[in-house]
Amino acid sequence: MFSDTLQIINYAPKHQADIRRILEHVGWAEQYITAAVRNADVFSKEPAVFGTYLAMAGREVAGFIYVQFHVWNRLAQIQGLAVDPHYQRRGIARALVDRAEVFALGKQARGIYVDTPTDNKRGRLFYEAAGYTFGYLMPRYYEDRLDGVTYQKFFDR
C-alpha cells in the first residue's frame, strides 16, 4: 500500500500536462495520449455522467481514472486508467478503481466494466485481482493487430 499521503481528487484542467506526462512515461501512443487529455476536459464538464479523478501523492499527480455511467444499461465503464511508473505497485491504481466503483454505486449502477488490450498482461492481472472477470474478446478493437478484452464486475445488492 502507498506509504505517503495519497489523496483522490477531482480532475481540473490545470492537470492536463500531468496526464500527458503520465501517459508518456507509461508508453502510450500519441493518438491515445491526445484523446485521453481531451477526454479529461470533456468528461470533467459532465459530472452527472462522468467521474474524472486524480491520485495525488503529496503534491504530485501519480495517476488518473475516468469512469462513465451509462443510463441505458445501468453500467459504468472505466474509460481510462494510468499510474506513473514511479508510483506503480503501491496501491494507487486500486485506490483509483475503488473511487470509480464508489462513483458507479452512487449512480445506482449494477456493475462496472473496462476494456484493455489483450497484450496488457499486467493490467489484466490487476483487474482480475480487483475482482473483475473476463467478459469477452474484441478482435481488432484497438488496431488491426491489437485485440481488446473486456473485464466486468457486477455489484451484489
Residue carrying the nine cell digits 445506482: 108
Q: What does the domain layout of the chain look like in residue ranges? A: 6-154
**Per-residue pLDDT tens digits for 128-153:** 999 999 999 889 888 888 899 999 99
Q: What is the mean pLDDT of residues 12-27?
A: 96
Looking at residue 1, its pLDDT comes to: 55
**Per-residue pLDDT tens digits for 27-58:** 998 998 999 999 999 999 999 999 999 999 99
Mean pLDDT estimate for the chain: 94
Do 130 and 95 meet the contact criterion of CB atoms below 8 Å apart? no
Give percent of the chain above pLDDT 70. 97
**DSSP result, 77-98:** EEEEEEE-GGGTTSSHHHHHHH
Task: Reply yes or no on domain 6-154 having CATH 3.40.50.300.
Answer: no
- At residue 3, does pLDDT exceed 70? no
DSSP-based three-state secondary structure for 52: strand
- Using DSSP, how many helices (H) and how many strands (E) does the chain show? 4, 7
**Which grid coordinates belong to 37?**
487529455
Looking at residue 141, its pLDDT comes to: 84
pTM score, whole prediction: 0.92
Residue carrying the nine cell digits 498482461: 121
Residue carrying the nine cell digits 499527480: 61
Do 28 and 36 meet the contact criterion of CB atoms below 8 Å apart? yes
98 vs 133: CA distance, rounded Å: 16
Label residue 18 by pLDDT band (50, 70, 90).
very high
The letter for the amino acid at 71 is V
CB burial readout 126-139, b (16+ within 10 A) else e: bbeeeebeeeeeee
